[in-house]
Amino acid sequence: MSTAGHGEGLRRHRATALWILVLVAAYYGAARIGLEQQLVRGQVTPMWPPTGIALVGLLLGGIRLWPGIAVGAFLVNIAIGPSVLPVLGIAAGNTIAPVCACLLLRRVGFRVELDRLQDALALVFLGALGGMLISASVGSAVLVASGAVPAGAFWSTWSVWWTGDAMGVLVIAPLLLVLRTCRLPRGVGPFRWMEAAALLAGTVLVTEVATHSTPGLLFLVFPLLIWAAFRFQLAGAAPCALITSLIAIEAAADGSGPFAGLDLFTKMVTLQAFNGSAALTALLLAATVTEREHTRREIEQVCRRLGEALSRLAPDEEIEHWAAVPPVERGRPE
């Protein structure tokens, strides 16, 4: 191997190692935040942000970054037990799940821009609901086998684990993907900024009221999510979905509003039904609107190129004459 090739390979390995360390830090930090809202044995939460971070890291940096997920998951779980061997099993499940989800998404041609409806559907069913079956099954089985939770609590633990990991993908992954390409827009008028600020403030206010009121008012959040998706696409829908989920999780943990007096299973069903519906509404509608806008721009470009081609092929007066002839008479012989 030449000296230049060896140097290039060394730089590539150093860059990979650096990104692995970044992924470890991001995974660990997000996990500590997620554990603040644990519902089962200090480990299982209604939304697990590290799954979204892990999947995005693999999608952008490649499968070679998987050690960052493994190390981050091990460091998080070793501090809360139950013991080293079960922790290794949990870390393995938490690593395999986003790796498999990433491979499935690549298999179907997933684009990280999330500008097509098929990409949003793939993220939902392959990245979130499908891929996270692995981590939930492995983690719950390990906790039962180690005696950390009773055997009768397997399915309740599994349901919280699976929906928590899936919500981490549905809420965190789109936000990170849109932040990756987010730039401060130029030429945007003050009314557009005021609309964005009103949208965010309204989402916070309405969600607070809906999740802390005794009547079932959770449906009031959805018009704001639809507004965000139509007006700002993913850049507006992703933050609003995150806001609604965080406020709803806090209300469920406190047992306030529509979550008051519910047992763990019923509370989780209510919470994750709301969070899932909010995330799906925001993500799918934003992708649909973005795809429609791309199609419109492509049609405009084709029409523009066609007009330029016609202007080169025929004199202007012939084009104007042809445009003035009614469509029903253009093919009629003289």
Q: Which helix (H) or strand (E) holds 324?
A: helix 316-324
Residue 141 lies in a domain: yes
Written as one string, the DSSP assignment of 274-313 is: HHHHHHHHHHHHHHHHHHHHHHHHHHHHHHHHHHHHHHHH
**pLDDT tens track for 54-103:** 999 999 999 999 999 999 999 998 877 668 888 999 999 999 999 999 99
Label residue 306 exposed, middle or buried (CB < 10 Å: 0-12, 13-18, 19+). exposed
Residue 211 and residue 119 share a domain: no
Rg (CA), the chain: 25
> 88 near 77, Cβ under 8 Å?
no
Residue 46 and residue 22 share a domain: yes
Residue 227 and residue 108 share a domain: no
Residue 153 and residue 71 share a domain: yes
Label residue 82 exposed, middle or buried (CB < 10 Å: 0-12, 13-18, 19+). middle
Residue 150 and residue 121 share a domain: yes
Residue 223 and residue 168 share a domain: no
Residue 331 lies in a domain: no
Residue 158 and residue 35 share a domain: yes
Residue 175 and residue 41 share a domain: yes
Q: How many domains does the chain have?
A: 2
Domain boundary among 155, 182, 209: 182
Residue 203 lies in a domain: yes
Residue 206 and residue 300 share a domain: yes
Written as one string, the DSSP assignment of 81-127 is: -S-HHHHHHHHHHHHHHHHHHHHHHHHTT--TT--SHHHHHHIIIII
- The token pair at 84 is 């080293």
Closest CA to 267 of 277, 276, 258, 280: 258
> 282 near 124, Cβ under 8 Å?
no
Domain boundary among 182, 204, 223: 182
Residue 330 lies in a domain: no
CATH code, domain carrying 18: 1.10.1760
Residue 219 lies in a domain: yes
User: What is the DSSP code (8-state) at residue 214?
Assistant: S
Residue 104 and residue 46 share a domain: yes
Domain boundary among 182, 211, 245: 182
- The token pair at 295 is 């199609």
pLDDT of residue 43: 52
Residue 332 lies in a domain: no
Residue 321 lies in a domain: no
pLDDT of residue 264: 75
Residue 138 lies in a domain: yes
Residue 50 and residue 166 share a domain: yes
- The token pair at 188 is 């945007």
User: What is the DSSP code (8-state) at residue 131?
Assistant: T
Residue 127 and residue 11 share a domain: yes
Q: Compute the Cα dihedral for 98, 99, 104, 106 and give only its sign.
A: positive
Low-confidence ranges of the chain (pLDDT < 50): 41, 330, 333-334
CA dist 169 and 123 (Å) reads 8
Please give the distance of CA 36 from its chain centroid, rounded to a whole number.
Answer: 21
pLDDT of residue 147: 84
Which amino acid would we find at residue 47? M
pLDDT of residue 261: 83
pLDDT of residue 309: 83
Query: Which residue range(s) make up the domain with 217?
Result: 191-314
pLDDT of residue 334: 46
